[in-house]
A and B are shown apart, each in its own frame.
Chain A
Amino acid sequence: MTLDSKIPEGPLSEKWTKHKFNLKLVNPANKRKYEVIVVGTGLAGASAAASLAELGYNVKAFCFQDSPRRAHSIAAQGGINAAKNYQNDGDSVHRLFYDTIKGGDYRAREGNVYRLAQVSVSIIDQCVAQGVPFAREYGGLLANRSFGGAQVSRTFYARGQTGQQLLLGAYSALNRQIANGKVKMYNRTEMLDVVVSDGKARGIITRDLITGKIEAHSAHAVLLCTGGYGNVYYLSTNAMGSNVTAAWRAHKKGAFFSNPCFTQIHPTCIPVTGDHQSKLTLMSESLRNDGRIWVPKTARPGFKGTDAVNLPENERDYFLERKYPSFGNLVPRDVASRNAKQVCDEGRGVGATGLAVFLDFTDAIKRDGKKTIEAKYGNLFDMYKQITGENPYEVPMMIFPAVHYTMGGLWVDYNLSTNVPGLYALGEANFSDHGANRLGASALMQGLADGYFVIPYTLGDYLATIGWADKLSTDHPSFKQALESVNGTINKLLSIKGNKTVDEYHRELGLIMWEYCGMSRNEPGLKIAKKKIQELKVNFWSNVNVLGSNNELNQELEKAGRVSDLIELGELMVDDALSRGESCGGHFREESQTPEGEAMRNDNEFAYVSAWEFKGDGQAEELHKELLIFENVKLTQRSYK
């Protein structure tokens, strides 16, 4: 089959405007006859649910947390990009578009990315109108900063809590619609299946996490705004509850999964301290503006921060400054991460585990004074001290890369529709706009662009096309069948009563993924990983121990379902990484590097979006390719020497 991305014809800058005009509209009086399901209430979900309800549709929104405000968008720190050019420093829609395409290593669609840059401007207006307290200058106008090595200051921020403030803005809009009766909110409710009939998405099956009640919900369309799958690595900066279940079960019902191997590894996270570690904490990469990254020149097992203070300069290796004299410590995330891993693989890592490198502010404090450094990074230093118990003003920080974001996700066309009509994917859950690598401060932008400014237009076209009568009752056999299958899975999980906990399986999966499908990948390793994951899956379904029953709050049961899906996804990630024999963005294949050891893209063979089709349990998935066409940018190789 051919994948139709539905990118409109015409010049880049007119595509969205023309497309909006060509989309069908639903008569205002008829909107209330339509029901829309929104799964997930992060930036994409909350903004979509609120905007659709404002238009007059009846919305049912679902989140597994105890409140929609707790979705993991809340943890985003840095900021949100927008091509406002308030700073008069040469920014424009075209420049944001170009930076995003280039930053994504030319693996995203031009049309999508250009639209993202266009609507970025409206997002800021919308958030300010809601009362989001962005940082401001003394004159009362909005402040901006340069972020993630961008050449222009286009990042809007609210201290280090931009995600929180944007999410609370969207949450407030959602609350208003809940109060209006246009959104019915289901907290602590998890989606466990999509119902598909006659090739269209018809509704979902959910589990009430308090009572265990399994319920069917019918609607004209289903929007999955369920975030990324970084937790496949067990340790990541994602929230503990972040999972792939909604997207994965949609995939098993026919939705294609795209570019699953594209994961972003963030270089500045607090290192692992032991087996008990449950998650990793990110520290803003702004730290690399002043901190110098180094390890000892020779391997010194157990080398600590307190030892580092006394190590003479000539025994230190400032490896990023040495290898990349022009960018130094400010090389992009993937390059910094890969190099940190390399020196640790050489045995030169520091700390108790040997899986860390120093981020040293001694020189910066000498140069600028402690006061200046405190003003810039005080809160980050405090956070570091709280978690590690070490004072970064006195001993160098230790950092290590951690999984942070997943660029892959459900395949969607220009309308954010998956290949299953009526099933949409928004935000991190789709694969669309970041290519093989996401730029800093672009995740918030994409989530809100999809929810506030894209889906309200494109969904209307679908609804107008099918008509309001085209909705199934939950008595329909397709719902019955889905209910049975969900119940069957739950009963199976509860009946195994094996010897290993869900967390133990999750941790094992994470180790396999990190080892073989992490910062750098090679064919033999990936093949080992595939075998190990298959074994793990078999073992899981025969030896997992889930206590308790379905009819209660059962957090082990919740986790078990999620981990079973992550295991299956893990295998697909490995397949995808195997099939993509080039290095690009966050995906580094050791077979594809330059003589100096840098990533080498292969545009002739791999300038495509992979889209995997589920063919049944235990069967190999089928790879479809959507070729990427670049008419407006010239493909170049990145270089930071």
Chain B
Amino acid sequence: MKITLKVWRQKNRDSKGAFKTYQVDHASPDMSFLEMIDVLNTDLIKKGEESIAFDHDCREGICGMCSMYINGHPHGPLQTTTCQLHMRSFKDGETITVEPWRAKAFPVVKDLVVDRSAFDRIQQAGGYVSVNTGGVPDANEIPIPKIVADEAFDAAACIGCGACVAACKNASAMLFVGAKVSQLALLPQGKPERKQRAERMVAQMDAEGFGSCTNTGACEAECPKGISVTNIARLNREYLGAMLTSYQVEVGGGE
């Protein structure tokens, strides 16, 4: 296969980037998209040109590190991660445009690499159950209906790649936040902290500069793990409920 690639090249966070056009003459339909970039990078190095920087790690669709915006879709035309996209999804002679995720909260670090640490900070704001190691009850002392456990799992399957933000016209992170809030709101383990979790995670999300959800559903349609927008509704419910009813207890005890 012959492919023409238009790739975003940007030296670093502060410099201005631009598209650059490359030819890949010997792509195989069995190559993954990232392997095709590997081949191109080897060619570039041989020519004395710096290789294209891109994030990738497990290459089996689970680590969430790969993040290319291909021909107007996060992770390309299929509902999968970039590493699981193969060249047989493209036509011989096609021109493919590759860009980094675009969002204020995901600044470009270099070429196709963006900084997604905003996601980590949102998780740090409350995406956990406050239990220390040890001293927990026996696993079977917390029975959870199968249907609830399954739904919590569906939400927990999020790989944190950021495709939802990349796809959303508002660069909103509601699907990502909704997935974690949902998982822990559904499970009894998450109940004690559910109000402050929803409030804190939403506050952090806003502080990071993500846009707001206008319910277009693009995130769900592009999510490689098929996370449902039901989780956004649940996040809204948790958040509104928390805003209306949460309270801070003044802890007495004297000076």
Chain B positions 126-154 with a Cβ under 8 Å from a chain A Cβ: 127-134, 136-140, 142-146, 149-150, 152-153
Kindly state whether residue B187 has any CB partner on chain A within 8 Å.
yes
Chain A contacts for B119, CB-based, 8 A: 67
Closest B residue to A548 using CB positions: B50
Interface locus among A1-9, A156-164, A291-299, A467-475: A156-164
Whether B46 pairs with A501 at a CB distance below 8 angstroms is yes
Chain A contacts for B25, CB-based, 8 A: none
Interface locus among B57-65, B69-77, B165-173, B210-218: B57-65
Decide yes or no: A130 and B38 within 8 Å by CB, A136-B146, A139-B143 being known contacts: no
Kindly state whether residue B32 has any CB partner on chain A within 8 Å.
yes
19 contacts between A and B (CB under 8 A): A54-B133, A65-B65, A67-B116, A129-B131, A130-B129, A131-B129, A131-B189, A131-B190, A133-B149, A140-B145, A175-B128, A240-B57, A276-B35, A387-B84, A504-B42, A547-B51, A553-B53, A553-B113, A555-B53
Chain A contacts for B80, CB-based, 8 A: 386
Whether A545 pairs with B64 at a CB distance below 8 angstroms is no
16 new A-B contacts at CB < 8 Å, known A66-B65, A75-B60, A128-B139? A66-B55, A129-B131, A129-B136, A136-B145, A138-B146, A141-B140, A164-B159, A165-B153, A176-B124, A179-B124, A240-B59, A273-B31, A276-B36, A276-B38, A556-B45, A556-B51
Whether A278 pairs with B143 at a CB distance below 8 angstroms is no
Give me the 7 closest cross-chain CB pairs, A-B, nearest first.
A140-B143, A172-B128, A129-B136, A133-B153, A273-B30, A128-B139, A51-B133
Whether B136 pairs with A125 at a CB distance below 8 angstroms is yes
In whole angstroms, what is the CA distance A273 to B138 when docked? 47
Whether A553 pairs with B62 at a CB distance below 8 angstroms is no
In whole angstroms, what is the CA distance A547 to B49 when docked? 8
Whether B120 pairs with A67 at a CB distance below 8 angstroms is yes
In whole angstroms, what is the CA distance A258 to B150 when docked? 42
**Chain B 76-118, CB within 8 Å of chain A: the 1/0 string?**
0000100010101000000000000000000001100101110
Kindly state whether residue A26 has any CB partner on chain B within 8 Å.
no
Among A69, A142, A176, point to the contact of B139 (Cβ < 8 A).
A142
Chain A positions 136-168 with a Cβ under 8 Å from a chain B Cβ: 136-142, 158-159, 161, 164-165, 168
- Taking the closest CB of chain A, its distance from the CB of B63, in whole angstroms, is 4
In whole angstroms, what is the CA distance A172 to B124 when docked? 8
Decide yes or no: A135 and B110 within 8 Å by CB, A66-B116, A276-B28, A556-B45 being known contacts: no
In whole angstroms, what is the CA distance A68 to B160 when docked? 11
In whole angstroms, what is the CA distance A552 to B15 when docked? 13
Chain A contacts for B223, CB-based, 8 A: none
Kindly state whether residue B68 has any CB partner on chain A within 8 Å.
no
Kindly state whether residue B21 has any CB partner on chain A within 8 Å.
no
Chain A positions 244-293 with a Cβ under 8 Å from a chain B Cβ: 273-274, 276-279, 281-282
Decide yes or no: A175 and B120 within 8 Å by CB, A133-B187, A141-B140 being known contacts: yes
Chain B contacts for A373, CB-based, 8 A: none
Closest A residue to B63 using CB positions: A70
Closest A residue to B111 using CB positions: A553
Report the interface size for chain A: residues with CB under 8 A from the other chain: 79
Decide yes or no: A74 and B109 within 8 Å by CB, A124-B139, A136-B149, A140-B145 being known contacts: no
- Taking the closest CB of chain B, its distance from the CB of A75, in whole angstroms, is 5
Whether B65 pairs with A70 at a CB distance below 8 angstroms is yes
In whole angstroms, what is the CA distance A138 to B144 when docked? 9
In whole angstroms, what is the CA distance A135 to B148 when docked? 11
Chain B contacts for A47, CB-based, 8 A: 133
Residues in A lying within 8 Å of B, measured CB to CB? 47, 50-51, 54, 65-70, 72, 74-75, 84, 86, 122, 124-131, 133-142, 158-159, 161, 164-165, 168, 171-173, 175-176, 178-179, 185, 187, 210, 237, 239-241, 273-274, 276-279, 281-282, 386-389, 452-453, 456, 501, 503-504, 545, 547-548, 552-553, 555-556
Kindly state whether residue B183 has any CB partner on chain A within 8 Å.
yes
Chain B contacts for A70, CB-based, 8 A: 57-58, 63-65
Kindly state whether residue B34 has any CB partner on chain A within 8 Å.
yes
Whether A239 pairs with B59 at a CB distance below 8 angstroms is yes
Among B109, B113, B127, B160, point to the contact of A67 (Cβ < 8 A).
B160
In whole angstroms, what is the CA distance A3 to B51 when docked? 46
In whole angstroms, what is the CA distance A47 to B133 when docked? 9
Closest A residue to B136 using CB positions: A129
In whole angstroms, what is the CA distance A135 to B152 when docked? 11
Among A66, A178, A277, point to the contact of B124 (Cβ < 8 A).
A178
Among A131, A552, A555, point to the contact of B12 (Cβ < 8 A).
A552
Chain B contacts for A159, CB-based, 8 A: 153
Chain B positions 157-192 with a Cβ under 8 Å from a chain A Cβ: 157, 159-160, 183-184, 187, 189-190
Kindly state whether residue B123 has any CB partner on chain A within 8 Å.
yes
Among A134, A241, A548, point to the contact of B149 (Cβ < 8 A).
A134
Kindly state whether residue B56 has any CB partner on chain A within 8 Å.
yes
Among A168, A240, A388, point to the contact of B56 (Cβ < 8 A).
A240
Whether A141 pairs with B143 at a CB distance below 8 angstroms is yes
Whether B183 pairs with A278 at a CB distance below 8 angstroms is no
